[in-house]
Amino acid sequence: MVMREVRVYDGDFPASEQILVGGLGAAFPKQVWLQQMQPGEFAVRYRDFKTGLARNPHGEHVKSSEICRIFSSLEEARADSRKVVNDHWVVLCFIYDHTGAKVDTVSNARKLNKYGAAIYAQILLGIVFCALTGMASIWLLYKTWLLFAPPSPSAHGPFAFGWLYWASYTAAGLLLAALLVSLRFRWIINRAVSRTHAKLSFAISSEDKKRFQDLNYLHLSRGPAERERLLKLANEYQEKIRESLKK
């Protein structure tokens, strides 16, 4: 089997500092893999099945170092792709011809279906648990209300326990559980945000805040000196944030 590996991009992606400063160092690389193919050849690129981010044939996450494998026939590309997905089921293999058209996709269907079934089962169990929890809460609230409510014959009368009753009861329990979960998440988030604000206010003095205000207009500058000052201030600001969050 004739196979060769080529880089997808002609260079590395710029670092965040380079993007901030701008200039030639902030230029993004170009894809060059297609120019290295000949008529009749097929290239295989690798992606994560959940995120779509690039991986390599060894299942590792990559960025600008992404590679593709080029084969002299479609069957060779498929055979190698099947080996890759059997070794690393999280990888999807996309096969392209020399024009850049996608001709096939190879995946580990058995593993992916098993993963999907497990996820759906967890979602279903979570819904059932939330519904039962909400229904139990409604029942406890109802019993508590009966203890303090004035005597009423209708309160202790017979109920029609049909499918409509149970469907409404389940829906109400699920809505109550969803409300409680959302309120808890909101409380946790607001508490975390308040703590973060308190840490930042303690770590960054009023003098620092005045200096860091220059970041607002330095982003619009294009002069080398201003861009260097922007990078220096941004690094100092990020360092103060990191130090404050560690405490």
Same domain, 177 and 82: no
At residue 122, the pLDDT reads 94
Considering its fold, how many domains does the chain have in total? 3
Same domain, 221 and 154: no
Same domain, 219 and 237: yes
Q: Is the pTM of this model over 0.75?
A: no
Domain hosting residue 119, numbered range: 112-203
Same domain, 124 and 199: yes
At residue 28, the pLDDT reads 86
Interatomic CA distance for residues 51 and 59, integer angstroms: 13
Same domain, 175 and 130: yes
Domain boundary among 107, 135, 170: 107
pLDDT in tens, 145-193: 878 776 655 555 555 567 787 888 889 888 988 898 899 999 999 998 8
Same domain, 88 and 120: no
Q: Is the dihedral of CA 238, 242, 245, 247 positive or negative?
A: negative
- Other CB atoms within 10 A of residue 219 CB: 13
Q: Is 56 in contact with 7 (CB distance < 8 Å)?
A: no
Six token digits for residue 31? 């894809």
Same domain, 80 and 135: no
Q: Which of the 8 DSSP states describes residue 10? A: S
Same domain, 118 and 50: no
